[in-house]
Amino acid sequence: MFSLGAIKIPTVAFLRKQLNTTALIEFGKYIQKVFPAVFSTEFIQHEVVGEYSYLFTVRGSDPQLMPYMLLAHMDVVPASEEGWKFPPFSAEEDEGYIYGRGTLDNKNSAIGILQALEFLLRRNYRPRRSFYIGIGHDEEVSGLDGGKQIAMLLQARGVKLSFLLDEGSGILDGVIEGIKSPVALIAVTEKGSLTLNLTVRSDPGHSSAPPKETSIGILAAAVSRLEKNPMPRLFGYGPELMMFEHLASEFAFPLNIVMKNLWLFSPLVSRIIERKPTGNSMVRTTTALTIFKAGIKFNVIPHLASAAVNFRIHPAQKVAEVLEIVKDTIDDDRVEITVTEAFDPLPISPWDDQALGVQIFRRTIMDVFPHVSSIAPGVCIGNTDSRHFTNLTDAIYRFNPVVLKADDVSRIHGWNERISVKDYEKQVEFLFQLIQNSDIDKLPKPHLSTHEL
Ligand SMILES: CCCCCCCC/C=C\CCCCCCCC(=O)N[C@@H](CCC(N)=O)C(=O)O
Ligand SMILES: [Zn+2]
Ligand SMILES: [Zn+2]
């Protein structure tokens, strides 16, 4: 059963320096109370990192086995009171669903991991393979003070990981047009990000004698040009090619043939899938106008107008290239462009028979979600704390073991975020099995089943 108390604690992160620290402290106390075995077992060390994040070191009985890591975060994005069926921090249960900010992103993982470990400890289970659990407190606002500090601490201790599992993808059921059965997408990379601040300055004055162009008009035209001129289609040039090839047999004829031959059909496929926002995010670097500020009074021509634009960079592109395209598209020197944050797409993690993490995930997915018909490498369209761990392993995977239906994706950061009690229990079962399956020291033999391998 979901620890509903975790959802009721409003661990909201607005900005890097604007966190609800009272709630973060309360969350720490809460997990100590509900997971007593995790906090008192002799072979588990817990540490508070960066004031509010938690790092657990679970010492396995066989020091020869290379450790792995499970990552999650306790902070959540803000939630408005209106628009929700139930208040976002009420953890109300309705028709088998628990509603609340963080039920999918990402208290389900934070609590689910600790719950699975608590269950194992109560059964006197001691893992053979050591592992780490990181519960960040500022993932939604960069992870620099939480997740990154955990990564740096482990790096300073000389830790190397065999694999790392974080949030960032899931079991998609009816999300990809043309695929009827649920498919598990394990993201082997995540898109890069570039946030630009655009500013236009012009002389202030009386609205009764306006100039031909104002700061607002100039800026509005610039952002409109960005929106009307999407970044180039790059579908088929990144790991999404691998994803669709793996999923090809899930499509009915003739789409299965099309997906198997993306070298020929990717221009056609990209035009179809870009029609939906999630599909579009696979096709290109996305452009999102997220902040627009100007003006103080109806009869005053404002001196300043500013806007923020957030680009999520396709794995086949880099920050520098996106910036060049932006400058060419705006093509107006009056618009001052400054970079607020920028990083390239993350490296692509291994996806082959030698990749231990992948084999363990496959086996665990098949054990716990037998109705999943394919397991494929995917691309995380957002960003996660795992991007701070690239010095510890090249095997970083993003996968939340939760079934997401078409309307669930927009609940993440949106209204009515929810998880079914059944899905949460499955998530705990997955983690419970995963920890045990990770104790193998050799890779399992390739599985001969109808599953996509
Ligand atoms: C062809 C269709 C394929 C569709 C694939 C869609 C898969 C959707 C599945 C899950 C949703 C992804 C959720 C991504 C997790 C993102 C976590 C997050 O919100 N991170 C923040 C971090 C912010 C920061 N400053 O670091 C973010 O990305 O904004
Ligand atoms: Zn998240
Ligand atoms: Zn999030």
Residue 140 alpha carbon to ligand 2 centre in Å: 6
Q: What is the pLDDT of residue 260?
A: 92
pLDDT band at residue 318 using 50, 70 and 90 as cut-offs: very high
The mean per-residue pLDDT over the stretch 283-290 comes to: 98
Report the percentage of the chain scoring pLDDT > 90. Answer: 95
- The verdict on 32 and 68 lying in the same domain is yes
Q: Is residue 256 a contact partner of residue 325, using CB atoms and an 8 Å limit? A: no
DSSP 121-177: HHTT---SS-EEEEEES-GGGTSTTTHHHHHHHHHHTT---S-EEESS--EEES-ST
- The verdict on 300 and 358 lying in the same domain is no
Q: Give yes or no: 75 in active site.
A: yes
Phi, then psi, of 148 in degrees rounded to 5: -65, -40
pLDDT band at residue 441 using 50, 70 and 90 as cut-offs: confident
- The verdict on 261 and 355 lying in the same domain is no
Count of domains forming the chain: 2
Reduced to 3 states (helix: H, G, I; strand: E, B; else coil), residue 254 is coil
Nearest ligand to residue 403 Cα: 1
Closest CA to 230 of 169, 307, 317, 342: 317
Sequence-distant (≥ 6) Cβ neighbours of residue 385 within 8 angstroms:
71, 73, 134, 136, 139, 143, 146, 147, 148, 166
pLDDT > 70? residue 446:
no
The DSSP bridge partners found for residue 18 are 15
- The verdict on 91 and 27 lying in the same domain is yes
Q: Is residue 406 part of a domain?
A: yes
pLDDT > 90? residue 21:
yes
Report the percentage of the chain scoring pLDDT > 70. Answer: 97
Q: Is residue 213 part of a domain?
A: yes
Return the best residue to mutate from 74, 380, 402, 427 for the ligand 1 pocket (most ligand atoms within 8 A of CB).
Answer: 380
User: Tens of pLDDT along 141-182?
Assistant: 999 999 999 999 999 999 999 999 999 999 999 999 999 999
- The verdict on 195 and 168 lying in the same domain is no
Q: What is the pLDDT of residue 4?
A: 86
Q: What is the pLDDT of residue 451?
A: 40
Q: Is residue 283 part of a domain?
A: yes
Q: Is residue 142 part of a domain?
A: yes
- The verdict on 338 and 371 lying in the same domain is no
Q: In the chain, what is the greatest distance between 2 CA atoms, to the nearest angstrom? A: 79
pLDDT > 60? residue 449:
no
- The verdict on 259 and 393 lying in the same domain is no
User: Domain with 208 in it: what CATH number?
Assistant: 3.30.70.360
Q: What is the pLDDT of residue 14?
A: 96
Q: Is residue 303 part of a domain?
A: yes
pLDDT band at residue 447 using 50, 70 and 90 as cut-offs: low
Q: What is the pLDDT of residue 341?
A: 96
Q: Identify how many contiguous H helices and E strands the chain contains and give both numbers.
A: 13, 21
- Final residue in a domain of this structure, among 343, 358, 377: 343
The mean per-residue pLDDT over the stretch 245-256 comes to: 95
Q: What is the pLDDT of residue 440?
A: 87
Query: What is the crossing angle of helices 21-34 and 107-122, to 10°?
Result: 20
The mean per-residue pLDDT over the stretch 223-228 comes to: 98
Element (H, E) at 8: helix 4-8
Q: Give yes or no: 139 in active site.
A: yes
- Final residue in a domain of this structure, among 343, 359, 390: 343
Sequence-distant (≥ 6) Cβ neighbours of residue 186 within 8 angstroms:
169, 358, 361, 375, 376, 377, 378, 397, 398, 399
Reduced to 3 states (helix: H, G, I; strand: E, B; else coil), residue 396 is strand
Say yes or no: CB of residue 118 within 6 Å of ligand 1: no
- The verdict on 384 and 418 lying in the same domain is yes
Reduced to 3 states (helix: H, G, I; strand: E, B; else coil), residue 355 is coil
User: Domain with 391 in it: what CATH number?
Assistant: 3.40.630.10
pLDDT: which is higher, 52 or 442: 52
- The verdict on 338 and 352 lying in the same domain is no
Q: Is residue 451 part of a domain?
A: no
Length of the chain: 453
Say yes or no: CB of residue 278 within 6 Å of ligand 1: yes
Return the best residue to mutate from 381, 389, 405 for the ligand 1 pocket (most ligand atoms within 8 A of CB).
Answer: 381
pLDDT band at residue 202 using 50, 70 and 90 as cut-offs: very high
- The verdict on 203 and 268 lying in the same domain is yes
The mean per-residue pLDDT over the stretch 354-362 comes to: 96
- Final residue in a domain of this structure, among 292, 317, 343: 343
Q: What is the pLDDT of residue 3?
A: 77
- The verdict on 221 and 141 lying in the same domain is no
Mean pLDDT of the chain: 95
- The verdict on 62 and 111 lying in the same domain is yes
Q: Which domain holds residue 256?
A: 189-343
Burial-class residue 205 by CB neighbours within 10 Å (0-12, 13-18, 19+): middle
